[in-house]
Structure 1
Amino acid sequence: MAATTLDIRDVPPSERHPKIHDAFQALGSGETLEIVNDHEPKPLFYEFQAEVEDFDADAYEVQQRGATEFVARLPKK
């Protein structure tokens, strides 16, 4: 499964979700968007689950790699 990585730690908070949505929409079916964030993106998960039909919520994963580094994998159906 192909993955695209998007590090949003330096992106202003108000620009993060639109940037993530755009990157996710650019993916092909079966690909994954990997987000590197400074906090656990639980609100983003709920937003995608409710609003993005192609989001595979069952295959979503998040891993904490440091005090301020979280990596979330958002797979596309």
Structure 2
Amino acid sequence: MQAFTATVNATEYPPQLKHKVIFQTFQELKPSEAMLLINDHDPVPLRFQFESMYKDQFDWEYIEQGPDLFRVKIGKLSL
């Protein structure tokens, strides 16, 4: 079992708040910490945003890939 510093269940937030909460949670992570993102669809557009905003500062690992539930480990890399 992996340990996560924070968990964001995106299904619990209205659409206009989802990305705000996810990015705020990521920003609060210390280097080498990770968060768990839970979503009801593949968060590929979110990954593109991470690549644009945090290039070379995160890692992305699918723990579960659907079809109804997606769980992604998003880690903050040490620089």
Query: TM-score of the superposition, structure 2-length normalised?
Result: 0.81
Equivalent position amino acid for 1:73 in 2: K
Normalising by structure 1, report the TM-score.
0.82
CA contact (8 A) 1:54 1:76 kept: no
* Deviations, residues 20-65 of structure 1 (Å, cap 9, x unaligned): 0000011110011110001010000010011124632xx311222x
Which portions of structure 1, spanning 4 or more consecutive aligned residues, are displaced by more than 6 angstroms? none
Paired residues in the alignment total 74
The 8 Å contact of residues 2 and 31 in structure 1, kept in 2 or not, is answered as: no
Residue in 2 that maps onto 1:34: 36
1:70/1:7 CA distance change after superposition, 3 Å: same
SS in 1 for 2:7: strand
Given that 1:5 and 1:33 are in contact with CA atoms closer than 8 Å, whether structure 2 keeps it comes out as yes
- Map residues 1-77 of structure 1 onto 2, 5 A cutoff: 2-3=3-4, 4-53=6-55, 55-56=57-58, 59-62=59-62, 63-64=64-65, 66-77=66-77
Q: CA RMSD in A?
A: 1.8
Contact persistence 1:60–1:73 (CA under 8 A):
yes
